[in-house]
Amino acid sequence: MIIFAHRGASGYAPENTMAAMKKAIALGINAIEFDIHNVEGELYVFHDRRLDNKSSGSGLIEEVSRQYLSSINVEGEPIPTLWEVMNYLSQHDCLVNIELKGMKSLEPFIKIYPRLVTDLHIAPENLLISSFNHGFLAKFRHLFPLSRIAPLFEGIELQANSTAHKLDAYSLHLSLSFINQEIITQAQAEGRKVFVYTVDHEEDIIGLRQMGVDGIFTNFPDRAANILKVR
């Protein structure tokens, strides 16, 4: 079972910051998920659409300037760019799941993705691009046929497997609250992985393993690794 450090090791360090990425690597975790937004054409690693709750700033992240973003922090940590995070992670053997948040335009990501492969030498199979925006995924996959993409689903999505099929997705990313055996079995029968978010509780981790899921996103990846080892 693959254990993704969710927003970096966000149970231990401010989420989606370099500190959270470094913590995940220090814990020996080799799969990391984080979220990105487009700010004036530069991609930044941050979860919320608003800055208010998780940073010292305020406003909609995609409507502030880069200069403003560089003046605020997340519990004392700067908001990193995608490039800064990827440059660091490229020095470690690591599966990276980049989640595209509500970006107005996919263009900055279309520009940077090939550079992650050519300039930072990250193997395409170590890059998994996910989003709730399935239109973005379809466009991206069309441009980069060798890329790995994954649709995210929030609620009970009866069309999840057919959506994943149409997108030729590598994996389905499903919410813990709505997971069921049928969807897992069908996805795997079609050759897809099933990854579930966000899973921190021991019983849930064990239950998902029994259901045969391929991986989880967790804020405490070391704990999940220990639970899977001892139980």
15 binds ligand G3P (CB under 6 A): no
CB 196, min distance to ligand G3P, A: 9
SS (H, E, C) the chain: CEEEEECCCCCCCCCCCHHHHHHHHHCCCCEEEEEEEEECCEEEECCCCECCCCCCCCCEHHHCCHHHHHCCCECCECCCEHHHHHHHHCCCCCEEEEEECCCCCCHHHHHHHHHHHHCCCCCHHHEEEEECCHHHHHHHHHHCCCCEEEEECCCCCCCHHHHHHHHCCCEEEEEHHHCCHHHHHHHHHCCCEEEEECCCCHHHHHHHHHHCCCEEEECCHHHHHHHHHHC
CB 74, min distance to ligand G3P, A: 15
113 binds ligand G3P (CB under 6 A): no
170 binds ligand G3P (CB under 6 A): no
Which residue of this chain has its Cβ atom nearest to ligand G3P in the complex? 197
197 binds, among ligand G3P, Mg ion, none (CB under 5 to 8 A by kind): ligand G3P
With CB under 5 A as the contact rule, which of the stretches 94-102, 118-126, 183-191, 204-212 interacts with Mg ion?
Answer: 94-102
15 binds Mg ion (CB under 5 A): no
99 binds Mg ion (CB under 5 A): yes
The single residue among 9, 14, 35, 218 that binds Mg ion, judged by CB under 5 A, is 35
130 binds, among ligand G3P, Mg ion, none (CB under 5 to 8 A by kind): ligand G3P
CB 217, min distance to Mg ion, A: 7
157 binds Mg ion (CB under 5 A): no
CB 100, min distance to Mg ion, A: 10
Q: How far apart are CA 123 and CA 104, in angstroms?
A: 27
Applying CB under 5 A, which residues contact Mg ion?
35, 99
